[in-house]
Structure 1
Amino acid sequence: MTHVLYPALAAVAWAGFAVKLRDLRRGPNPARYAVCGALALLGSTFTVSTPAVWSWLDRTTGVANLAALWAHLSVVGFSATVQLLVLWWVNPTDLARRRTRARLAFLAVAAATMVVLFLAAGPTEPHATDFVATYVHRPHFAAYLLVYLAAFGLGLVDVVRLCWPYANMAGRSWLRRGLRTTAAGSVVGLVYCAVRVADVIGAQLDVDIRRWEWLAPIAASLGALLVILGLTMPAWGPRLSHIRGWLRRRRQYRQLQPLWSDLHRLMPQIALEPPVATPLRTLDRRLYRRVIELYDGSLALRPYLDEAAAGRAERIGARLGLRPDELSAVMEAARLRGAVRAYAHGEPVAPGADEATPARPDEGADLSEEVARLVRVSRAYAGSPVVAAAVAGREVLPAEETEVAM
């Protein structure tokens, strides 16, 4: 399991480090340095914990299981970095400075104690995949493990305690999500700590600790992945929102096609440039133009608008219990569909028809609201049985169409 999980997590951590490293070009910032440091320490942890790297380090240095000490110290350093980062985020400078000194002093003592206990434990046989299970029976190593877990676990508790409440105050949505994801990763990290504490207790009671040993790498990997995502989320999250918004606008552009096609077929002059099936880089401009062209076409059809069809659509829709926005859409679609038919057949303008006006964007309404309204109208224009019945002069729908409309 560790042959796959740990190198994959190392790659993800170093990729996150590369993403955040680019942010340093925007100027020096303690928070950016801290995030970069945390990701580098996490990448170092999973790199040296990879069995192949572990064995290589043993051969190169001649110190058996040195990778274990390296990985554990890196984990403690990572926990401390995230802890201090959040401390500086949520506290005034003077208070953050005092609390930072206290935590750094505790971590320095813990790290020095770990080194002393590791050397005293004297593990001499390389064990890249079952190091803890092999040596946890030794008193010195059990003490080493407890010091490591205390330093790491207390840091995780502090991260959870600080991140979750601060997320509620964070203004940017991706920063808020990142803090909560980091807190969730820390909670999963505490599961790893619980497994390791169970190892120590079980070894002293002569219990076979290998029965639950598989939980440790899974908890460590999942927790680390969540923390990596949380720390980097403010960097890549807005880009994801941009892509998601682009895909939504592309879908809306295509949903406007049925209504636009009919208007363009009758009045090609409404288009200032040749139509494109799926614009890419010019999508926003094309979508804006499509809205304007639909309004221009509707304005040209004003003398032909079928108010009688709109009235029938309103009555049918009301009986079906359509929502107000749906009812408005089927009325507008019926009005326009009747107008398109009248215009195409050269029917005379009805008396007083010049007074009818198509729905216009509300004053101050943004483009997204108007696009959403026109999408509802276009979909009703193309496929609503209510619109089809109203334009055909019917006041009711057949039973099978009633089910579809609802």
Structure 2
Amino acid sequence: MKDLLHPISLVVAMLGFLCLLRDVPTRRRDPASAALAAVFLLSGLSFLFSITPMWNYLDRVLGTVNISAPLAQGCVVALLACQQVVLTYWGSPPKVASLLSRRWLWAGFAVIAGLLVLFALLTPNAPHPIDFTLYYAHDDWYAAYLTLYVTAYTIGEVFLARACWRLARRSTRGSVRVGLRIVALGATVTLGYSAVRIGNVIAGAFDTSLAEWESFAWTCGDVGAMLTLIGWLVPTISDQAQSVRYRIKQYRSYYGLRPLWLAFYSEAPEIELPIDRVDPAQRRRFRRISIRLYRRAVEIRDGRFVIRQYLDAAVREASEARHRARGLHGKNLSAAVTADQILAGIAARAAGARPEPDQLTEFADFERQTTGPMDDIDALLDVARHLPRQPARAPHLERVSA
């Protein structure tokens, strides 16, 4: 059972670690993010060390029989401490979290040190990757070893389940609430593993065995661990999904603004912001979609400023009457009228026909309120949708729109 479930759990842990690793460089000053990444890495290592081929390989390479047992269980103790670090930073002020986190880490270190000492006192024998616990169940030193490990494991999982349920009730983010409840469920399931291991200690004292419960123990341990890892990933996956959606929206907005940008550029190419003087080391930043979109929006705003002095009130009045007759109103009406004003203003500037001062007007969407950068982009997109998709002078301008 162990060699069936552990590889699956290993894959889940490593995929989660790679998913979190993407955000670690941008959150270098966030101890919770680093601790959460460590949880996935340590979890993967604990499963890896326990798989039979790796168990036998480490025995040969390190020259110590069954060394994988304290290595794997040491990783489990360490990840339990790291999980408490995550919850501490999520639920406490920074100074308090820092103090409590150090206590959890020192407690984990003490347990690991105790496990290594007790393991060194065991009588060396043949490798037992499958039945390690059953084989040593009657050894007094192993009873102490297993008691220490199971006590730390059980305390860690109970604290984890309680803290997750408490934080889930306090959290305002849906993905965090769901994730923490899944973590709590996983921690509860792993207590089945603890119960069997406690039973191993008691059975050893009475010269009996719980061999028939081994499959149940490993199932609870692995299924609980997978649920815990999945729960920790839920907020991260939700954040990254939102980031992907936002990036897609930026790309769609960038290309959606292209007709509007080309319309201005065809008459006023001076709106293009020069980047030839930018430091070559910084040019890579200008290829990011966020910078490109911002640059395009600025150039469009510059284009609007260029033709503002060619806006004729008669054009606006005629356009408003025509679009109202089509049933447009509100933002759709102001966007459609603004598009007509832009085309008329560009044509007037090309012909040098500036309206009389008393005939000048503002863009129809001049009073539209925007509260953020993407709101401003959305306002420009509304105007762009009312322009022809392929302006007449577009073909020779393709090289500058990328």
| TM-score range relative to shorter protein | 0.5 to 0.7
Is the Cα–Cα contact under 8 Å of residues 260 and 294 in structure 1 kept in the other structure?
no
- Secondary structure of the residue aligned to 2:327 is helix
Matched residue, 2:189: 191
Query: Residue deviations 1:51-72, cap 9 Å, x none?
Result: 4331112234555433123212
Matched residue, 1:280: 287
Is the Cα–Cα contact under 8 Å of residues 137 and 200 in structure 1 kept in the other structure?
no
Is the Cα–Cα contact under 8 Å of residues 118 and 144 in structure 1 kept in the other structure?
no
Distance 1:297-1:135 versus aligned 2 partners, 3 A rule: farther
Structure 2 counterparts to residues 268-347 of structure 1, below 5 A: 268-269=268-269, 271-272=271-272, 280-281=287-288, 283=292, 284-297=294-307, 299-302=309-312, 305-317=315-327, 324-333=330-339, 335-336=340-341, 339=344
**TM-superposed deviation, 1:287:** 3.0
Matched residue, 1:80: 81
Partners of 2:299 and 2:70 in 1: CA distance: 63
Query: Residue deviations 1:101-125, cap 9 Å, x none?
Result: 69966995797489759977x7955
Give the TM-score of the pair, scaled to structure 1: 0.60
**TM-superposed deviation, 1:375:** 0.6
- Which runs of 5 or more structure 1 residues have no equivalent in the other structure? 384-406
Matched residue, 1:379: 385
Partners of 1:99 and 1:368 in 2: CA distance: 39
Structure 2 counterparts to residues 61-80 of structure 1, below 5 A: 61=62, 63-80=64-81
Is the Cα–Cα contact under 8 Å of residues 183 and 227 in structure 2 kept in the other structure?
yes
Matched residue, 2:359: 354
**TM-superposed deviation, 1:75:** 0.8
Amino acid at match of 1:192: T
Partners of 1:350 and 1:30 in 2: CA distance: 62
Distance 1:153-1:247 versus aligned 2 partners, 3 A rule: same
Is the Cα–Cα contact under 8 Å of residues 42 and 75 in structure 1 kept in the other structure?
yes
Distance 1:177-1:382 versus aligned 2 partners, 3 A rule: same
Partners of 1:301 and 1:92 in 2: CA distance: 56
Root-mean-square deviation over aligned CA pairs: 5.7
Structure 2 counterparts to residues 234-273 of structure 1, below 5 A: 247-265=248-266, 267-269=267-269, 271-272=271-272
Amino acid at match of 1:377: V
Partners of 2:80 and 2:256 in 1: CA distance: 49
**TM-superposed deviation, 1:378:** 1.1
Structure 2 counterparts to residues 2-401 of structure 1, below 5 A: 2-3=6-7, 5-6=9-10, 9=13, 13=17, 41-42=42-43, 44-61=45-62, 63-84=64-85, 86-87=87-88, 90=92, 108=110, 112=114, 126-128=127-129, 130-131=130-131, 135=134, 138=137, 148-162=149-163, 181=179, 184-185=182-183, 187-194=185-192, 197=195, 210=215, 213=218, 216-221=221-226, 223-224=228-229, 227=232, 247-265=248-266, 267-269=267-269, 271-272=271-272, 280-281=287-288, 283=292, 284-297=294-307, 299-302=309-312, 305-317=315-327, 324-333=330-339, 335-336=340-341, 339=344, 354-358=359-363, 359-360=365-366, 366-382=372-388
Amino acid at match of 1:313: H
**TM-superposed deviation, 1:251:** 2.6
Distance 1:330-1:198 versus aligned 2 partners, 3 A rule: farther
Distance 1:191-1:112 versus aligned 2 partners, 3 A rule: same
Number of aligned positions between the proteins: 359
**TM-superposed deviation, 1:336:** 3.4
Give the TM-score of the pair, scaled to structure 2: 0.61
Distance 1:268-1:274 versus aligned 2 partners, 3 A rule: farther
Percent identity, aligned pairs only, is 21
Query: Residue deviations 1:338-394, cap 9 Å, x none?
Result: 737975998x999998243213266885543322111112124458xxxxxxxxxxx
